[in-house]
Structure 1
Amino acid sequence: MPFGGGLEWLRARDPGLRAVRRSARVTLVACAGFYAARYGLGDRVVAVYALFGAIASGGMSFVPGAPRERARTLLAAMPVAAALVTLGTVLGAHAWTAALGMFGVGFLVTFAGVGGPRLGGLAGGLQAFYMLACFPPYAPETLGARLAGLAAGMVMMAAAEVWLLPDPAPGHYADRLARAAALAAGALRALAAEPRPPVDSPERLMAASQELRMSRVPADERPTSASARDRALCQGAAYMRHLLAQTRQLTQDARDTPGARDPAASRLLHASATACHGVALGLSGRGPAPSDAPYTSAAADFEARRIHLPVLGASGEAVVRGGAIALDIANTGALLVTAVRIVLGAPVPADTTSPADRPGPFWYAGRPAPSLYARRLLAHLTPRSVYFQNAVRIALALAAGRLIVGVLDLSHGIWALLATVTVMRSSAAGTRTALWPAFGGTLAGAAVTAVMVFSVTDHVAVYAVVMPAAYFLAFSARPVLGAGWVQTFSTIAAVAAFAQLDPARPGVAAVRFTDMVIGGVTGALIGLLAWPQGGGGELRRACTRLLDRGTRAVTEIIDTITGNGTVGDALVRARLAQTIAEASYAQYATERGAPDAEHPAETDFQAIMLAGNRTIIMGQTLVDHCPPGALAAWPHSATHLRDAAHHLRLTALSLTYDLRSGKQPSALIEPPEANVPTDHTVIADVCAASEGRAPDPLLYYAVDAAIWLTSLQQVVTAIRPAAEGRTAAPG
């Protein structure tokens, strides 16, 4: 194969050569530290810890961000790594104390990842520091040398992140949001113009919405930490997706009824376009933080005008509907502006949510990062949390593996625990899938090392030459050749490293394979016994709760404004269910790389997340603006709204049943027929009740509620057993 063709083949499997760059950095730093300590200082302890310091912080840790951000993260983690090495050194006196320590470290380090991808990315490396220190020989007098080697390896690794083949800075989720806002601004400006120019195609608006989905975003760009900025980015994306969906609806309506226009609604759309333009400029760094000032006069003008306009015939109904959607866009845009101001660190208005309805949508604004992190930790400190489950499973597997290795007195027992970390996944099925490539790769590596040890015997120079090449191939093999090859080259590299410390025994290859089998089987058994369904099982339960509580909130709100009930805590419960479901989906997404890619018949969980977002966003807006019992005086419209809300709940019931049972979703209840209430039906009732005059102002709440219910019905009906890329919910 020509070199150019080989490079293209490599780039296709490793975009940007990120794995190759990372492998080169880790290999050069690890080998440089090892050789300098082993042959320059003549200190074996420093050599081992310098080697593992680089491997654990650079090869076993996956810290997102720009090179300087990764370097700062590694340096900030050094005190924790030193504490773990110290703890392992102290508890390594006995197998049972080491195993107890392994359980505590395994749980705490893994569970700490709930705070964000940087903490989660450090988990494997931090666990390795304790593992190495808690194995024989028990030598507390070498703690100083251990810490010196650790510091050397981590400092050199941090420096290499910045100056040695640094990766290109990853993209920013804020840039995606800025592009979507710019597209929305253009479409809204076109809808508001007179005469109206050609508007953007609905397909472009849909595509921009899909690009905001987390499953479309590289892992190192996802705003998933507990910080206020990342929370606001996620929340702003939800508002943006709803705004795009409603803009898309107006675009389609403009094609169907080109003559239906309301000057006040046009001014409101223009104000929304101005605000979205400000969002795009602020997020891209080309302007100040956006302001919701454009909405103030336009919204007041629209509200004052629409309650005085008579409605006549089909054109009047189209004007009423277009105005209601324009107001929905404006309300959503105001929320988007607030979220973006939090992202940019600009001041936001005080929370006006009533004490009974708190927490409000922006409860986290202005709170210090440690308190937000502590809040998230407490929220997930429950057996229902996937993060909690995963932490317990890994802690049990590592503790059991350490105890078994201690009881059997296996040499190089750390290999067994590293094997457990390698094969453990969030589900038993995922663990089994990772197990066989690990076994096969280790067996192949053991065969090669057996031949190498037999042929080379005690010629240390050969091992010194083999080690860098083996480590380079081990760290770069996963995306290029597959997980099995990682174990093949890791086995060769590990034997080559330890052969430079002590004479290699002929049975070292068998020891390596035995440790891998013990560690892998231990992880598989724990995975089978403790929450074997992993993120998929918990995600189904979380989505069941979200659909159930979300549709309960919808019926409760509609019953309240139509005079048949009172507002309870259903919306608060739906908000909590949404938080847990989003966290479960994030964990589930890590199990397969690309959700649904290998299982195209699975439920479109992302559409369920979108339904929950719309329930909370629009439900809270309606509760804030529509008084209880406001529509009781118009029983016909009230009945239509209640029927639509209950039909929505029935549509979701078949999904919740299938999700509970773990079956593939069956055919849903048919979409509403012509005689079932929709926004068109309710608007027609409002216009008929007005008899050509301006409707009573309270009747516009019925219009706003109808727009909301129709939007939710479209999303829930679109949830089908299909891949995310093939079936997309509106917006």
Structure 2
Amino acid sequence: MRRRGGLEWLRARDPGLRAVRRAARVALVACTGFYAFRYGLGNHVAAIYALFGAIATGGMSFVPGTPRERARTLLAVLPLAAALVTLGTVLGVHSWTAALGMFVVGFLVTYAGVGAPRLGGLTGGLQAFYILACFPPYAPATLGARLAGLATGVVLMAAAERWLLPDPPPGRYADRLAHAAALASGALRALAAEPRPPPFDSPDQLMTASQELRLSLVPDDERPTSASARDRALCQGAAYLRHLLAQTRQLEQDARDAPGTRDPAAARLLQASATACHDVALGLSGRGPAPSDAPYTAAAADFEANRVRPAMWYPNSAAVVRGGAIALDIAHTGTFLVTAVRIALGAPVPADATPPAERPGPFWYAGRPTLSLYARRLQAQLTPRSVYFQNAVRIALALAAARLIVGVLGLGHGIWALLATITVMGTSATGTRTALWPAFSGTLAGAAVVAVMLYSVGDHVAVYAVVLPPLYLLAFSAKPVLGLGWGQAFSTIAAAAAFAQLDPARAGLAAVRFTDVLIGGLTGALVGLLAWPQGGAGELRRACSRLLDQSTRAVTETVEAITGDSTTGAALAGTRRAQVFAEASYAQYATERGDPDPTHPADEDWMAILLAGNQVVTTGQSLVNHCPPGALAAWPVSATHLRDAAHRLRLTALPLMYDLRSEKRRPAPVEPPAPSTPTDRTVIADVFASSGGRATDPLPYYAVDAAIWLTSLQAVVTAIRRTTDVRTAAPG
């Protein structure tokens, strides 16, 4: 019973025992290569590089994907690892050349992970290869042995990933999209078949499916975060699908409040959307071909033709018009969703028809090779405002400074100083402090055990050989299960046991190791505190503030264009660019805290801001495409209400933008006055009045679409502000 309880406790902290299996793979491979060279061939240099080859690629790295993909990635990165070992061997002749090389390697390796999650997961391991090679002794003649040991460790680790206690394949993000699309299809089909109401639990199911698409709730190895067109399309398709799910939930609520208010044309449009979502689900799950937007063509033309016919005018006509506008919004969003899914599946899509002034368009990346997209992301993030750029500079500075200090002071085993620097470097001052104390305390505890072990065991190498595998098993499983301090303690003991098999054990080794870690940790902490101390959190605040600013400007510009004599400018394109940086900053901020932290509910606010920006881009571009400039100027009442709603949205967002930039809250923010009647209902009433009960021009119905768009955005931004106020007022 006690043993079963311990296993349950372990499974609770390590679901699926993934960390334990990974630690077992690393320990077995590292010790196998080490023993083969140390005791089989008598080559100490190759032994230590075989050991570190496995530890760097298995223990210090995280490569997402299936076991086959991880193995292929390790083999593909082997030439780069060999180049880093060679570079470190050559530059290790002087401390200043080693430090300069450390800065360049630290920056390039860290920054290269911007658009490649697998390469980013190998950052720590790749840096360790250069670190190991650039320390004394300076022995270029041993380069062959170093590369032989390195290749052995990496190849064995790749084989272990594939065949030794392999992890189950991670989930596919595309399957999450397919599940959500299938639910949306069922709900839309039920809505199209009125008067039968939708199932009672359908809104909750749609909400759950929408939440499951949030990247912060998706396992690391399932997130589509690379620069490839496929991953970009999956993320973009998820954003469109979340908006479609929200609008479907709104229609379900309206159907309960006012049943029987769907006109036949809107029902056919909903049926077409249901068919398209069904095809999306089949395509993403691999059970059907890529979806097509053909179901929308005839249904949209039919809806536009029937939208203004006199047969629509009956007692519930306002609800009919409102439901039709939401159905049309769902259809427009569905066309974007279908295009994104076709890109993700590698199917051809139409050429980008976005006007030059509004580019980049929503699917600018379609058809471009992955290498080109990766280079574009590298270029886009090469700015001091980028979190990725900041993090690369901080790590490069810390590693170079630590290497220079170790060389000047002539510290023995100085490699541990740089490994400690990597350990404590966080993206923010908070992250650095969080890692610093567990690293120091764990190293101190491990050093105390090492002192006792070296004193008790002495030069009995066989003892160290026996305890090395279980020590490394504990070292790589303790960190994810028990915390950084435990992992650092066991890794300190394991490293001492490994080096004791290469050189005579010295009683002072524990003190030397702790001194190195102390210097490396303090160097990393100092650089982390001085260089951009706000890190991801500070950049996220600025990025979200810019996104709100650009989004509300785009809304105002779009409304002015369709209601007046102005033309659209670059606001929508600016919103797209701001959204790219906001999403990147949010992703980096989420990695600082690791698993979701219930003490930081502000994360929900960030996601809401990102969703609002996506809604501005999606519906704003749709209005621009379907409504000519100045088209609504002939209906001054509707035009005035739309401009007032856009102005009110901007006023609501301004205090939130200020709070994000300054990190201070106004004591009593002045809220813009709310209209006595919602904008969408006012505009619908104006459309009725202007028609005089006769068939009317279809243009004022674009005012209805814009009004529903503005009402939805106003609700989103108001909810963000209200949530922020509640959190700020809460104690603690």
Q: Go from structure 1 to structure 2 and tell me whether the alpha carbon gap of 1:43 and 1:82 turns closer, same or farther (over 3 Å shift).
A: same
Partner of 1:695: 696
Q: Distance between the aligned counterparts of 1:664 and 1:406, measured in 2?
A: 48
Partner of 2:527: 526
Q: Distance between the aligned counterparts of 1:475 and 1:611, measured in 2?
A: 41
Q: Does 1:73 align with 2:73?
A: yes
Shift of 1:314: 5.2
* Contact 2:188 2:273 (C-alpha < 8 Å) held by counterparts: yes
Q: Distance between the aligned counterparts of 2:468 and 2:619, measured in 1?
A: 60
Query: Aligned to 2:316, what secondary structure does the other structure show?
Result: helix
* Contact 1:310 1:692 (C-alpha < 8 Å) held by counterparts: no
- Structure 1 residue identity aligned to 2:108: L
My pick for the range that moved more, 46-55 or 287-296, is 287-296
Partner of 1:177: 177
Q: Distance between the aligned counterparts of 1:540 and 1:669, measured in 2?
A: 21
Unaligned runs of 5+ in 1: none
- Structure 2 residue identity aligned to 1:213: R
- Structure 2 residue identity aligned to 1:175: D
Shift of 1:115: 1.0
- Structure 2 residue identity aligned to 1:588: Y
* Contact 1:668 1:717 (C-alpha < 8 Å) held by counterparts: no
Shift of 1:672: 6.6
Partner of 2:384: 383
Alignment of 1:677-688 (within 5 A): 677-688=678-689
* Contact 1:311 1:692 (C-alpha < 8 Å) held by counterparts: no
Q: Distance between the aligned counterparts of 1:416 and 1:301, measured in 2?
A: 71
Note the alpha carbon deviations across 1:474-510, whole angstroms, 9 max, x for none.
1000222111001110000000000000001111000
* Contact 2:475 2:490 (C-alpha < 8 Å) held by counterparts: yes
Q: Does 1:305 align with 2:285?
A: no
Partner of 1:114: 114
Q: Distance between the aligned counterparts of 2:688 and 2:308, measured in 1?
A: 12
Partner of 1:538: 539
Alignment of 1:163-174 (within 5 A): 163-174=163-174
Identical columns (%): 79
Partner of 2:128: 128
Query: Aligned to 1:259, what secondary structure does the other structure show?
Result: coil
* Contact 1:602 1:723 (C-alpha < 8 Å) held by counterparts: no
Alignment of 1:120-159 (within 5 A): 120-159=120-159
* Contact 2:116 2:226 (C-alpha < 8 Å) held by counterparts: yes
Q: Does 1:255 align with 2:270?
A: no
- Structure 2 residue identity aligned to 1:169: P
* Contact 1:644 1:676 (C-alpha < 8 Å) held by counterparts: no
Q: Does 1:82 align with 2:77?
A: no
Q: Distance between the aligned counterparts of 2:371 and 2:677, measured in 1?
A: 50
Partner of 1:420: 421
* Contact 2:651 2:671 (C-alpha < 8 Å) held by counterparts: no
* Contact 2:417 2:520 (C-alpha < 8 Å) held by counterparts: yes
* Contact 2:565 2:629 (C-alpha < 8 Å) held by counterparts: no
Shift of 1:91: 0.2
Shift of 1:599: 2.3
Q: Scaled by the length of structure 1, what TM-score is found?
A: 0.97
Shift of 1:10: 0.3
- Structure 2 residue identity aligned to 1:157: M
Alignment of 1:468-479 (within 5 A): 468-479=469-480
Backbone CA RMSD of aligned residues = 1.8
Q: Go from structure 1 to structure 2 and tell me whether the alpha carbon gap of 1:414 and 1:245 turns closer, same or farther (over 3 Å shift).
A: same
Partner of 2:631: 630
Partner of 2:282: 281
Q: Go from structure 1 to structure 2 and tell me whether the alpha carbon gap of 1:46 and 1:684 turns closer, same or farther (over 3 Å shift).
A: same
Partner of 1:23: 23
Alignment of 1:95-494 (within 5 A): 95-199=95-199, 201-309=202-310, 312=313, 315-494=316-495
* Contact 1:106 1:395 (C-alpha < 8 Å) held by counterparts: yes
* Contact 1:687 1:695 (C-alpha < 8 Å) held by counterparts: no
Note the alpha carbon deviations across 1:550-580, whole angstroms, 9 max, x for none.
1001001101111053211111111100000
Q: Distance between the aligned counterparts of 1:143 and 1:272, measured in 2?
A: 63
Partner of 2:618: 617
Q: Distance between the aligned counterparts of 2:388 and 2:668, measured in 1?
A: 32
- Structure 1 residue identity aligned to 2:428: S
* Contact 2:656 2:721 (C-alpha < 8 Å) held by counterparts: no
* Contact 1:401 1:416 (C-alpha < 8 Å) held by counterparts: yes
- Structure 2 residue identity aligned to 1:59: G
Q: Distance between the aligned counterparts of 2:84 and 2:90, measured in 1?
A: 10
* Contact 1:445 1:491 (C-alpha < 8 Å) held by counterparts: yes
Shift of 1:600: 3.1
Q: Distance between the aligned counterparts of 1:658 and 1:176, measured in 2?
A: 35
Q: Go from structure 1 to structure 2 and tell me whether the alpha carbon gap of 1:725 and 1:31 turns closer, same or farther (over 3 Å shift).
A: farther
Q: Go from structure 1 to structure 2 and tell me whether the alpha carbon gap of 1:668 and 1:676 turns closer, same or farther (over 3 Å shift).
A: farther
My pick for the range that moved more, 15-24 or 360-369, is 360-369
Q: Distance between the aligned counterparts of 2:689 and 2:708, measured in 1?
A: 18
Query: Aligned to 1:363, what secondary structure does the other structure show?
Result: coil
Unaligned runs of 5+ in 2: none
Q: Distance between the aligned counterparts of 1:498 and 1:724, measured in 2?
A: 56
Note the alpha carbon deviations across 1:623-662, whole angstroms, 9 max, x for none.
1111111111111100000000010011110100100111
Q: Distance between the aligned counterparts of 1:724 and 1:232, measured in 2?
A: 35
Q: Does 1:644 align with 2:639?
A: no
Partner of 2:33: 33
* Contact 1:386 1:535 (C-alpha < 8 Å) held by counterparts: yes
Q: Go from structure 1 to structure 2 and tell me whether the alpha carbon gap of 1:253 and 1:666 turns closer, same or farther (over 3 Å shift).
A: farther
